[in-house]
Amino acid sequence: MISQDDTLINTLGIKTPGNKTPEDNPGGETADFGFRRVGRADKAGLVKGVFDSVATRYDLMNDLMSAGVHRLWKAALIDHLKPRASMRLLDVAGGTGDIALRFLDHGGEDVTVCDINAEMVQAGRDRAIDRGVLEGVRWVVGDAETLPVPDNSFDAYTIAFGLRNVTDIDAALLEARRVLKPGGRFLCLEFSHVALPGLASLYDRYSFEVVPRLGRWVARDEGAYAYLIESIRRFPDQAALVARMTAAGLARASVQNLSGGIVAIHSAWRI
């Protein structure tokens, strides 16, 4: 059982490794960090640095970048989840608590938010306190690839706009299966690959020309938002992610496109 003490639990102690390149890690494995290749062991720290930089303005930037549409996407995720009082939810990469608070607003009573970034978790915890939410939610700092929770302990697992940031997607999917109870639900809300050619070109132009500038003006970090856009382009398409979910042992994997495929909800079950 995860402690309900509100002290943040840092299970990682990762330090940002700086601007290392694959040449700094000769012969080692590499991973995508946006359009760059970096040492596999370095990616988590680099991603942590990105979110350290933008944590306090993350929710505002979501509203600006999507013109508020991210709220509809998250509402669709909650509709798929169908919260109930007896449901135990693990929200991974849950950072500022957006999904967790929606879950509680829609009848859920027990949610654990787990995020690799302590700054994001602190922002979420502060947000919950500001809203008067003092019970029903736990805050844990931990890695999606090595979750600090027991086997078979949750009825549902959600990850919204976080899976593309993990170093090893397949390891994260295996962890999702491990922590779900038999019959548990897996739901991933993530930017995906646009299905409409006309929309795709407009979306690319907006993403690469407008979003980084918003990052500079509002979050004071253009590079962080350039990385986030690049990470979207590197993320597996809808069919590829369904295949990887199935390979991880998640059953009845399916996908629903939202906004023409800009975003997709991937769903599966632990059988």
For residue range 218-240, list pLDDT tens digits in order: 767 777 778 788 888 899 999 99
pLDDT at 176: 99
- Residue 21, pLDDT above cutoff 70: no
Identity of residue 3: S
Residues 6 or more apart whose Cβ sits within 8 Å of residue 85: 107, 108, 109
The superfamily in CATH containing domain 54-194+228-269 is Vaccinia Virus protein VP39 (3.40.50.150)
pLDDT at 35: 66
The closest of 191, 205, 198 to 255, measured between CA atoms, is: 191
Residue spans per domain, the chain: 54-194+228-269
Give me the long-range contacts of 16-21 (CB less than 8 A, separation at least 24).
16/45, 16/46, 16/48, 16/49, 16/52, 17/41, 17/42, 17/45, 17/46
pLDDT band at 26 (very low <50, low <70, confident <90, very high): very low
For residue range 105-153, list pLDDT tens digits in order: 999 999 999 999 999 999 999 999 999 999 999 999 999 999 999 999 9
How many other C-beta atoms lie within 10 A of the C-beta of residue 168?
Answer: 16
**200 φ/ψ angles, rounded to the nearest 5 degrees:** -60, -45
pLDDT at 42: 77
For 244-259, what is the mean pLDDT? 98
Alpha-carbon distance 118 to 83, whole Å?
A: 26
pTM for the model: 0.81
- Residue 83, pLDDT above cutoff 90: yes
For 2-29, what is the mean pLDDT? 39
Q: At 233, list the tokens.
A: 């382009």
- Residue 62, pLDDT above cutoff 50: yes
For residue range 157-202, list pLDDT tens digits in order: 999 999 998 999 999 999 999 999 999 999 999 999 998 878 988 9
